[in-house]
């Protein structure tokens, strides 16, 4: 039996029945990774011996007792490598502590197992920018799995992981979830602690679950959400029962359809699948209304100013002095130059340069400050929309997964792959991708996803709407 093909609930049932032990599950997953991940590249590393040690003392009565969870390679797990899929850290840094999300997983009985591939420092939309090796889509290995959490998405979709954690700065959970045909949830900013995550853009980053089902996403969010004394941006709000909310149904829910999300540029086949999913929601009692988000046209430009500016500040710590790759040179400036030239990939360098430029003297007001003002307008658009609707529905991606290398020479084209997802990060609100069918392309069957966006702390609403789509 491939235990990684099971969802959390089914795996727990097998434990309760005595059909499996956590050691069996871990050994089975490790065997599948060894046999099948060579082509996909969804994992960067896994330590079976360390995981089996944890499994010996695990309490199966806990909410996630004995459940292996794959971890994106920028989330710290004590005693495990945390390389951010980069040359500057991989093989040179072992995390000395647990990120809050990992600590909470352990406290709930889960076993962090395996470091999943990603775009280097989470900078990318395809996981082609991994500094170690590219990751491939399980539905067609010639195509991208999405990014930056492509390894987590591919591992779950290929039944190489029961569930995984990813991070979402501009769509990096939802977009690969859509391309790989799984569920991916980006929580409200501050709903989940960022302590122990290697920062890309601190005002945008959020960790969240990537799972085989909506119920599993609710189970993981239940565990990792909540206030954290180590993260001042984490919200001091009670955590509702997300799993129970799934059964509330959507009768009477009002769903907004932004005209800007259904305009030119959306693949007609994707549009058909998304509209069919929306019809499922209507069939279960939801009402749909057209809305407008007038500043959405500025979201991509706004995001890539704010995100790169914050990245340039956050990545300044990687200087080869305190940890990571160190390239010796005759003086300090040369040392910085040689270390960063060797340790950072092209996309990371591009974003650092862009961010440093928009923060530089004479350009700060023209770019960064103006982008922050537009960000406020985008957030206001959503706030006004949620005065009349409960949830907003849209595509996740404008097209199915594209071929590896197809957009590598055109960064702008690559950036536009996130056009439907980045606005939720700018507004700080929650969103989920749920599978809504497949399209045929090049002789392959490729998944696509429906995006459901909720207001601040609106995770119960988007989860029950996603559950309604999943149940059909």
pLDDT at 323: 85
Strand pairing class (430-441; 43-45): unpaired
List per-residue pLDDT tens for the chain, 472 residues long: 789 999 999 999 999 999 999 999 999 999 999 999 999 999 999 999 999 999 999 999 999 999 999 999 999 999 999 999 999 999 999 999 999 999 999 999 999 999 999 999 999 999 999 999 999 999 999 999 999 999 999 999 999 999 999 999 999 999 999 999 999 999 999 999 999 999 999 999 999 999 999 999 999 999 999 999 999 999 999 999 999 999 999 999 999 999 999 988 899 999 999 999 999 999 999 999 999 999 999 999 999 999 999 999 999 999 999 889 999 888 999 999 999 999 999 999 999 999 999 999 888 999 999 999 999 999 999 999 999 999 999 999 999 999 999 998 888 888 888 999 999 999 999 999 999 999 999 899 999 999 999 999 999 999 999 999 999 8
For position 264, what pLDDT does the model report?
Answer: 85
CB-CB contact of 217 with 192 (8 Å): no
So what's the pLDDT on residue 410?
84
Which pLDDT score, from 0 to 100, does residue 415 have?
85
308, exposed or middle or buried, with CB in 10 Å at 0-12, 13-18, 19+?
Answer: buried
CATH architecture of 3-185+196-243: Alpha-Beta Complex (3.90)
The one-character DSSP state at 198 is P
> Is there a contact between 400 and 441 (Cβ–Cβ < 8 Å)?
yes
Task: Give the pLDDT of residue 198.
Answer: 98
| Whole-prediction pTM | 0.97
> What percent of the chain is helix, strand and coil (3-state, nearest 5)?
45, 15, 40
Grouping H, G, I as helix, E, B as strand and the rest as coil, residue 291 is strand
Query: Other C-beta atoms within 10 Å of 334: how many?
Result: 12
Q: Which of 42, 72, 178, 312 is catalytic?
A: 72
Q: How many residues are given for the chain?
A: 472
> What is the per-residue pLDDT for 145?
98
202 included as an active-site residue: no
Query: What is the rounded CA–CA span in Å between residue 74 and residue 166?
Result: 9
Listed in sequence order, the DSSP H helices in 108-262 are 150-157, 174-180, 214-224, 242-245
**Cβ atoms within 10 Å of 289's Cβ, excluding its own:** 11
Sign of CA dihedral 399, 134, 44, 197: negative
- The confidence score (pLDDT) of residue 263 equals 87
Neighbour-count burial of 387, counting CB atoms closer than 10 A to its CB (0-12 exposed, 13-18 middle, 19+ buried): exposed
Cβ-in-10-Å burial (0-12, 13-18, 19+) of 252 comes to exposed
Write down the pLDDT at residue 245: 95
The token pair that represents 178 in the structure block? 């859509």
CA distance 132 to 151: 12
Backbone angles phi, psi at 244, to 5 degrees: -65, -35
pLDDT at 193: 98
What DSSP state is assigned to residue 314?
Answer: H
Specify the 3-state DSSP secondary structure of 7.
Answer: coil
**How many Cα neighbours within 13 Å face the side chain of 258?**
24
Question: How much is the pLDDT for 55?
Answer: 97
- 384 catalytically annotated: no
Helix (H, G, I), strand (E, B) or coil at 183: strand
C-alpha pair distances (Å), 84 with each of 74, 167, 199? 5, 12, 10
138: exposed, middle or buried (Cβ count in 10 Å: 0-12, 13-18, 19+): buried
Q: For residue 72, indicate whether it is catalytic.
A: yes
Of 42, 76, 86, 172, the active-site residue reads 172
Beta bridge partners of 227: none
d(CA 392, CA 289): 10
Rounded to 5 degrees, what are φ and ψ at 404?
-60, 130
Cβ contacts of 219 within 8 Å, gap of 6 or more: 8, 9, 63, 64, 242, 243
Domain positions in the chain are 3-185+196-243
Among candidate residues 76, 125, 126, 148, the one labeled active-site is: 148
Q: Return the number of other C-beta atoms located less than 10 Å from residue 238's C-beta.
A: 9
The pair phi, psi for residue 161, each rounded to 5°, is -155, 145
Alpha carbon separation from 153 to 116, 138, 212, 278, 379 (Å, rounded): 9, 9, 10, 24, 28
């Amino acid at each position: 039996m491939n235990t990684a093909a099971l969802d959390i609930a089914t795996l727990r049932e097998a434990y309760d029945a005595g059909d499996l032990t956590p050691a069996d599950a871990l050994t089975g997953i490790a065997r599948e990774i060894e046999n099948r991940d060579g082509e996909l590249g969804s994992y960067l590393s896994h330590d079976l011996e360390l995981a089996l040690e944890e499994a010996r003392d695990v309490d199966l009565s806990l909410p996630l007792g004995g459940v292996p969870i794959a971890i994106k390679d920028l989330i710290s797990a004590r005693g495990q490598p945390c390389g951010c899929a980069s040359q500057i850290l991989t093989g040179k840094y072992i995390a000395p502590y647990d990120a809050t999300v990992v600590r909470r997983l352990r406290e709930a009985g889960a076993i962090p197992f395996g470091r999943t591939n990603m775009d280097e420092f989470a900078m990318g939309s395809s996981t082609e920018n991994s500094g170690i090796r590219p990751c491939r889509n399980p539905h067609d290995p010639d195509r991208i799995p999405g990014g930056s959490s492509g390894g987590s998405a591919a591992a779950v979709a290929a039944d190489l992981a029961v569930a995984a954690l990813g991070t979402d700065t501009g769509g990096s959970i939802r977009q690969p979830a859509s391309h790989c045909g799984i569920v991916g949830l980006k929580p409200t900013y501050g709903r989940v602690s960022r302590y122990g995550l290697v920062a890309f853009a601190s005002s945008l980053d959020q960790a969240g679950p990537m799972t085989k089902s909506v119920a599993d996403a609710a189970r993981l969010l239940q565990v990792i959400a909540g206030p954290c004394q180590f993260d001042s941006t984490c919200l001091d709000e009670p955590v509702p029962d997300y799993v129970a909310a799934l059964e509330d149904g959507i009768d009477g829910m009002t769903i907004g359809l932004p005209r800007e999300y259904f305009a030119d540029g959306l693949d007609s086949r994707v549009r058909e699948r998304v509209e069919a999913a929306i019809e499922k929601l209507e069939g279960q009692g939801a009402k749909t209304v057209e809305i407008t988000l007038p500043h959405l046209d500025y979201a991509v430009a706004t995001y890539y100013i704010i995100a790169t500016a914050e990245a340039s500040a956050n990545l300044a710590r990687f200087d080869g002095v305190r940890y990571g790759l160190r390239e010796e040179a005759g003086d300090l400036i040369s040392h910085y130059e040689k270390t960063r030239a060797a340790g950072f990939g092209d996309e990371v360098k591009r974003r650092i340069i862009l961010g440093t430029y928009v923060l530089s003297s004479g350009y700060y007001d023209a770019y960064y400050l103006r982008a922050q003002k537009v960000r406020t307008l985008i957030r206001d658009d959503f706030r006004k929309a949620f005065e009349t609707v409960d949830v907003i529905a849209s595509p996740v991606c404008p097209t199915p997964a594209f071929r590896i290398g197809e957009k590598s020479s055109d960064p702008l084209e690559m950036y536009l792959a996130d056009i439907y997802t980045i606005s939720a990060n700018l507004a700080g609100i929650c969103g989920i991708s749920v599978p809504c069918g497949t399209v045929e392309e090049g002789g392959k069957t490729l998944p696509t996803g429906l995006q459901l966006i909720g207001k601040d702390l609106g995770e119960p609403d988007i989860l029950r709407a996603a559950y309604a789509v999943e149940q059909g």
